[in-house]
Chain A
């Protein structure tokens, strides 16, 4: 019963202490704007293509269903952005990607059936102005994201410094966390050059680095906490002392393997795909470590 109560309290503490970045709605709004540019482009392109079909007496497939799906996805994204719910927004983006792929498959299949050279020529000619329109729309959306990104990253730096102060205040070694904050400050300085370039790949690099920095900071925070707590547990009378110390040692080793190994931060992104793949693996591995960290906290409380 006591164990259950402890777990409930820990879970509630976790919920109540979850930090929310106040710039999240602005970030999501900027991304919604960007996604809208692409959906509008797709819809205009399909209309233009249908027009070419009529002009050249070519039958084109009915895209109404696909367009409705994209519109529905945008509605979901809008709702998530309004609520500042990044998780729902991420799901919405995934769905939009899936529906876009469906549409792409349908277009490719349609292009292979009974089309003429004049039809393809009409489509090629018609898409250039649409692309220009889309690019202008994207530029505006990216400008929105530039401002939101700065606020978002700055909020994270401030929050990270608060966490450092808390741990530093009790005497923990926060040097690893401080280093991660320095990476964050470097990233902040790189926001303007990346957005100035107008290259989506450069902006994507910022996102990838950002994701890794957040991960490294959290891993370093766990390290600092364990490093601080271990001797106190050793000298204390916690009923779960032996198990806590054993699990702390294992967790500390696992964290070190990630921070100093595959998940080590690099400000250089040679290949977006490789860096992104590593990020995914690092986050997957780290989620287990986060769980173990929380479990050790519960174990300390249980044995208190």
Chain B
């Protein structure tokens, strides 16, 4: 479970960083980078030093990043719910399967779906049924899934003799 959380955090960081890099590339060029107009007659204007602006954190587009964060948070919440349910001895297999799907969607940057799946996973975890613990007298199944009861059930045989040995040779007396 911890591994999953680490993976998600790592994935989130990776995506954030990937988003940053993308945004940097898209930032429009600054005045210093503007190609000077080829005008020799004009006194080249003294370039005003660029205003000292605090270097703003380039962020991903608001919509996408918001969704991604929401999806990541939803997955985190789902995983927490699963961990809690597991600790309470509940069967979290369905929720785990769902959260895995959510993580895959997150990886594919399908954030809305990821969030939805994560929420479903959380609901499944919260409503998970208790694990079926084999009762003391229950038979353990062997590797093939055949229980001893199933095996014993095969040990049946009909003991009755069939028709066939008697009847026709019952000769009644003749002289």
Closest B residue by C-beta to A295:
B155
B residues in contact with A300, CB < 8 Å: 148, 151-152, 155
Is B108 located at the chain interface by the 8 A CB criterion?
no
Measured CB to CB, the nearest residue on chain B to A228 is B154
Interface residues on A, range: 35 or more
Instruction: List chain B residues, Cβ under 8 A from A238.
Output: 148
B164 at interface (Cβ–Cβ under 8 A)?
yes
- Contact partners of B144 in chain A: CB under 8 A: 171, 232
Residues of B within 8 A of A31 (CB): 167-168
A1 near B: Cβ within 8 Å?
no
A contact residues vs B (CB 8 Å cutoff): 10, 13-14, 17-19, 21, 24, 27-28, 31, 34-35, 38-39, 41-42, 45, 49, 70, 86-87, 89-90, 93-94, 96-97, 100-101, 103-104, 107, 111, 123-124, 127, 131, 152, 156, 167, 170-171, 200, 203-204, 207-208, 210-211, 214, 218, 221-222, 225, 228-229, 232-233, 235-238, 276, 279-280, 283, 287, 290-291, 293-294, 296-298, 300-301, 303-304
Given contacts A45-B175, A232-B142, contact A100 B166 (CB under 8 A): no
The answer for the CA separation of A127 and B146 in the assembled complex, in Å, is 67
**Using Cβ atoms and an 8 Å threshold, which residues of chain B touch A90?**
163, 166-167
In the complex, which residues of chain B have a beta carbon less than 8 angstroms from the beta carbon of A10?
152
Q: A14-B156, A229-B151 are in contact. Are A100 and B143 (CB under 8 A)?
A: no
Q: B146 contacts A279, CB within 8 Å?
A: no
A294 touches B157 (CB 8 A): yes
B87 at the interface (CB under 8 A from A): no
Option from A45, A170, A203, A301 in Cβ contact (under 8 Å) with B148: A301
Chain B hits for A287, CB < 8 A: 159
Contacts of A235 in B (CB 8 A): 142-143
In the bound assembly, the distance between CA atoms of A300 and B148 in angstroms comes to 6
Using C-beta atoms within 8 Å of the partner chain, give the interface range for chain B.
35 or more
Interfacial chain B residues near A49, Cβ < 8 Å: 175
B145 to chain A, nearest CB (A): 10
A152 contacts B175, CB within 8 Å?
A: no
Query: Closest CB of chain B to A177's CB: distance in Å?
Result: 12
Contact pattern, B 135-175, Cβ under 8 Å of A = 1, otherwise 0? 00001101110111111111111111111111111111111
Give the nearest-CB partner of A120 in chain B: B175
Say yes or no: B172 contacts A38, CB within 8 Å: yes
* Cβ contact within 8 Å between A233 and B151: yes
User: Which residue of the partner chain, among B148, B159, B166, B175, contacts A93 with CB atoms under 8 Å?
Assistant: B166
Query: How distant is the Cα of A290 from the Cα of B64 in the complex, in angstroms?
Result: 74
Specify which chain A residues have a CB less than 8 angstroms from the CB of B150 in the assembled complex: 170
Closest partner residue, chain A, to B154 (CB atom): A225
Give 29 pairs: A residue, B residue, CB < 8 Å, sorted on A.
A28-B163, A34-B168, A35-B170, A41-B172, A41-B174, A42-B172, A45-B175, A49-B175, A100-B173, A127-B174, A170-B146, A200-B168, A207-B168, A211-B161, A211-B165, A222-B157, A225-B155, A228-B154, A229-B154, A279-B165, A287-B159, A294-B155, A294-B157, A297-B152, A297-B154, A300-B148, A303-B148, A304-B139, A304-B152
State which of A97, A211, A301 has its C-beta within 8 Å of the C-beta of B164: A211
| A207 & B164 in contact (Cβ 8 Å cutoff) | yes
| Chain A contact residues, majority secondary structure | helix
Q: How far is the CA of A161 from the CA of B3 in the complex (A)?
A: 53
Contact: B174 with A210, CB < 8 Å? no
B163 vs chain A, min Cβ distance (A): 5
In contact, A18 and B158 (Cβ under 8 angstroms): yes
Q: How far is the CA of A229 from the CA of B149 in the complex (A)?
A: 12
Q: Are A100 and B170 in contact (CB under 8 A)?
A: yes
A124 CB contacts on chain B under 8 angstroms: 175
In the complex where A41-B172, A42-B172, A45-B174 touch, is A232 in contact with B151 (Cβ < 8 A)? yes
Question: When chains A and B are docked, how far (Å) is the Cα of A86 from the Cα of B165?
Answer: 12
Distance in angstroms between the alpha carbons of A241 and B149 in the assembled complex: 14
Known: A103-B173, A107-B173. A221 touches B157 (CB 8 A): yes
- Bound-state CA distance A14–B175 (Å) is 48
> Closest approach, in angstroms, between the C-beta of A74 and any C-beta of chain B?
11
A70, A93, A228, A304 interface centre (most CB from chain B within 10 Å): A304
Q: Judging by beta carbons under 8 Å apart, are A296 and B147 in contact? A: no
Give Cα A35 to B172, complex, Å. Answer: 9
